[in-house]
Amino acid sequence: MVGITFILFSIFRRYLYFLALLGWFSSFAETKQRDVIVYGGTSAGVTAAIQAKKMGKSVVLVSPDTHLGGVSSSGLGWSDSGHKEAIGGLAREFYHRVWRHYQSVDSWRWQKMEEFGNRGQGSPAIDGEKRTMWVFEPHVAENIFESWIEEFEVEVIRNEWLDREKGVEVRDGRILAINTLSGNRYEGKMFIDCSYEGDVMAAAGVTYFVGRESNRVYGERVNGVQKKWAHQHQFLSKIDPFVVEGDRASGLLARISNNPPGKEGRGDAKMQAYNFRLCLTQNEQNKVPFPKPAKYDPLQYELLLRTLVQEPEPVFGKFDPIPNAKTDTNNYGPFSTDNIGMNYGYPEASYEDRARLVAEHETYQKGYFYFLSNDPRVPAELRARIAKWGLAKDEFKDNGHWPYQIYVREARRMVSDFVLTEKHLCGQIETPDSIGMGASTMASHHVQRYVATDVDGKSYVMNEGDVQVDPGGPYQIPYQSLTPKEEECQNLLVPVCLSSSHIAFSSLRMEPVFMILAQSAVTAASIAIDEEINVQQVSYEKLKQKLSTDGQILELQENNMIATGQGINPLGLPGIIVDGERIKLKGEWTQSSSLRPFVGNGYFHDGNGGKGMRSAEFPFSTKSDGLYEVRVSYIPSGNRAGTVKYVVTSEQGVEEKVVDQRKVDGIGQIWHTLGSFEFKEGKPYSVALRNDGTQGYVVVDALQLLLLD
């Protein structure tokens, strides 16, 4: 079916374009004149169009898609929202409307509300106090976008594709109009490019970048090729890459690159992987079995088969629950729904070539689930578990229950006079003129799968590119990242493919952020229209005042900027490590990651309060008798406590050690020794601390024990 649909689409598109070139549509084509022209039917596009109406401007939403909402209504119902206190304006209104929808008993057809629970991404899915809900079904999101459009009487032209070759008319640095393949012309005072690909921006001649910059370009740590950081979603054992194991001459298994990955930190033109966010269910009344794709080839999954023998559980790692007994199913593990290495040409590709790439991704992902649920070589228990799942029958009804929109995690990125980088997100460089906030982890998916070689000359498979680094809390996004260079274009704003580095965009690329930036972009565009100035000349004070009035969150107080994220992997550290859930905490401790490095997902602090009411214990036992060095981890800082008392229980008895957490005297910056102590195999011991009598923040991170020779 995919092949037939694609062929018909290609023939129709070429025919339409041919007719447009010949001027056959001249008698049927329309010219629309509006204050604001929004291109792209994404969540950002809808938000931009609504804000234009709220600002009293005439607007038309030109959408290549029939279904509005982008990936927000195409399966991404497990919102990547980061810190929800950073989300305001129309974005928060969207999540309020989600909450309002699910307050009705009639909304819970396949599951009772009380059965759903309240698990969300990093925080509760349903916030009754704030009247917001952060997880939802695809059709619910689409219905909200459509009702929103109807409520504000927004004019939407669907299935309307930009003529990318000559469809953007620019004169003296200003866009006069955009033209579509249907022959229609849209004249405007301001243009907002809300497409995932940045097609208007590119056709207007604005400078942009595709791929990953070298770390040297902006002085970053985790841009470019990333092999050392790629610990997540990685093969846990050395899996042979060859068709015949050990035989290089037999060739590589499918979906492994024959090219070297490149040098650490160097730039390239490659993309982090795309996938479809699938809506699955086990409900028999609402389930469609995984379809067998027309071009199904089980040889594409030989590497998956070898992986399953050693590590089957990651298959179910991201079946995240959304209402009505459904999931938002995302990539998880070393070989999953991400089609690694198959999207490099997508940003610059023609419509026909993009359609081919999307069809290839669809075939791959359908084949992935069909293989797992049907191939007799898949372990029987796993095959049976997968077969219990299927596509949700009541979603994407006119598309074979398959999502409308592929997840374009990254495509073009504008290069303006201001480029948002890792340093801005992490607070190392001040960010000016905030028009919204982001908060998510800098999370790039894998970019390539390659062959590595160990010291013994054995070849094995590795993934490269996955980076998951917490910026340390919510961060500000500057207005200048939405505006092109003034000499290139003076009436265009780009809230999706904004000016940022690859690694910064890996945090910015969240749907709530796109909605936030779209609202702010149109607000600025409206001011520019009223004052007849370029978008680069908009007064930030006027813009800030209007955004604040409309409920945008432009900054947060420091005590609200609590972050969590991935730090040093405790599994990769020597000795005995006590971290995370193994620590016994009493009293109210706050988890944070504002200062790096730390061990695991973050550290805890007492907020410089509740003195005498908070304690922590690191329980442990050793596997052999001996003398051990005992270390604790924390990052020293001037606001830390100067007299933190640690109590060590060992064979010598109970001993108290006083540590000044303000001083930089540690081992490798993070580790600080408490001394050497003797322990017996299998006996229970502990290191404990309290915040009694301390002034300043008391920090609890991890404990390490190293056996001394």
- Residue 487 is assigned to a structural domain of this protein: no
pLDDT at 17: 43
pLDDT of 13 > 70? The answer is: no
| Partners of 407 in the β-ladder | 275
Rounded Cα distance between 437 and 424, Å, is 12
- Residue 91 is assigned to a structural domain of this protein: no
Q: Select the more confidently predicted residue: 482 or 472.
A: 482
- Residue 441 is assigned to a structural domain of this protein: no
Rounded Cα distance between 263 and 250, Å, is 27
- Residue 535 is assigned to a structural domain of this protein: no
DSSP 440: S
* Contact yes or no for 525/455 (Cβ under 8 A): no
Kindly indicate the confidence band of residue 571, based on its pLDDT and cuts at 50, 70 and 90: confident
**336-353: average pLDDT:** 98
* Contact yes or no for 474/86 (Cβ under 8 A): yes
How distant, in Å, are the alpha carbons of 81, 128, 506, 518 from that of 482? 20, 34, 16, 9
pLDDT by residue (tens digit) across 290-328?
Answer: 999 999 999 999 999 999 987 766 788 889 999 999 999
AA letter at 221:
R
Over the chain, what is the mean pLDDT? 91
Q: How many CB atoms lie within 10 A of CB 155?
A: 14
pLDDT at 123: 64
pLDDT at 200: 98
pLDDT at 303: 97
Q: How many CB atoms lie within 10 A of CB 653?
A: 8
Rounded Cα distance between 440 and 509, Å, is 9
Task: Please give the backbone phi and psi of residue 490, each rounded to the nearest 5 degrees, phi first.
Answer: -110, -5
Q: Select the more confidently predicted residue: 531 or 114.
A: 531
Report the domain count for the chain. 1
- Going by their DSSP bridges, the two strands 685-690 and 615-620 should be labelled as antiparallel
Rounded Cα distance between 84 and 91, Å, is 11
pLDDT at 23: 46
Q: Select the more confidently predicted residue: 108 or 20.
A: 108
How distant, in Å, are the alpha carbons of 44, 70, 135 from that of 154? 14, 17, 26
AA letter at 517:
L
Residue 33 sits at the vertex; the CA angle it makes with 28 and 37, to the nearest 5 degrees, is 105
Q: Read out DSSP for 27-96?
A: TT--EEEEEEEEE--BHHHHHHHHHHHHTT--EEEE-S-SS-BGGGGTT--B---SSGGG--HHHHHHHH
Question: Within 13 Å and on the Cβ side, how many CA atoms surround 572?
Answer: 11
- Residue 647 is assigned to a structural domain of this protein: yes
Residues whose CB falls within 8 Å of the CB of residue 148, separated by 6 or more in sequence, listed in order: 46, 50, 94, 97
Structural domain of 698: 570-707
Joined together, the tokens standing for residue 587 give: 């009293």
Task: Please give the backbone phi and psi of residue 365, each rounded to the nearest 5 degrees, phi first.
Answer: -75, -35
pLDDT by residue (tens digit) across 359-379?
Answer: 999 999 999 999 999 999 999
**353-358: average pLDDT:** 98
From the list 422, 429, 474, 694, the residue with the least C-alpha distance to 594 is 474
**629-645: average pLDDT:** 88
pLDDT at 20: 45
pLDDT by residue (tens digit) across 654-703?
Answer: 999 999 998 876 565 688 999 999 999 999 999 999 988 888 889 999 99
Rounded Cα distance between 443 and 465, Å, is 10
AA letter at 401:
H
Kindly indicate the confidence band of residue 16, based on its pLDDT and cuts at 50, 70 and 90: very low
| Partners of 548 in the β-ladder | none
How distant, in Å, are the alpha carbons of 307, 371, 471, 700, 704 from that of 641? 48, 56, 24, 12, 21
- Residue 614 is assigned to a structural domain of this protein: yes
From the list 445, 420, 417, 701, the residue with the least C-alpha distance to 580 is 701
Kindly indicate the confidence band of residue 26, based on its pLDDT and cuts at 50, 70 and 90: very low
- Residue 651 is assigned to a structural domain of this protein: yes
Give the start-end residues of each E strand in 218-344.
Answer: 242-244, 247-252, 280-281, 287-288, 319-322, 326-329
pLDDT at 692: 87
From the list 182, 184, 178, the residue with the least C-alpha distance to 166 is 178
Rounded Cα distance between 70 and 57, Å, is 24
pLDDT at 194: 98
Residues whose CB falls within 8 Å of the CB of residue 407, separated by 6 or more in sequence, listed in order: 71, 74, 75, 76, 274, 275, 276, 277
3-class state of residue 699 by DSSP = strand
Task: Please give the backbone phi and psi of residue 632, each rounded to the nearest 5 degrees, phi first.
Answer: -120, 155
Rounded Cα distance between 473 and 379, Å, is 42
Number of continuous H segments (helices) and E segments (strands) in the chain: 14, 36
Kindly indicate the confidence band of residue 566, based on its pLDDT and cuts at 50, 70 and 90: low
pLDDT by residue (tens digit) across 110-147?
Answer: 999 989 987 776 567 888 778 999 999 999 999 999 99
| Highest averaged pLDDT of the listed ranges 179-193, 468-482, 694-708 | 179-193
For the chain, the distance separating the N- and C-terminal CA atoms, rounded to the nearest angstrom, is: 67
- Residue 175 is assigned to a structural domain of this protein: no
Kindly indicate the confidence band of residue 637, based on its pLDDT and cuts at 50, 70 and 90: confident
Rounded Cα distance between 136 and 323, Å, is 6
* Contact yes or no for 693/649 (Cβ under 8 A): no
Q: Select the more confidently predicted residue: 277 or 12.
A: 277
pLDDT of 1 > 50? The answer is: no
Question: Of 105-114, 334-343, 578-587, which range is least confident?
Answer: 578-587
3-class state of residue 619 by DSSP = strand
From the list 497, 522, 521, 401, the residue with the least C-alpha distance to 206 is 497
**543-564: average pLDDT:** 76
pTM over 0.95, yes/no: no
AA letter at 604:
F
Residues 511, 517, 409, 9, CA torsion sign: positive
Task: Find the CATH number of the domain harbouring 652.
Answer: 2.60.120.260
* Contact yes or no for 80/510 (Cβ under 8 A): yes
Question: Within 13 Å and on the Cβ side, how many CA atoms surround 519?
Answer: 31
| Partners of 478 in the β-ladder | 434
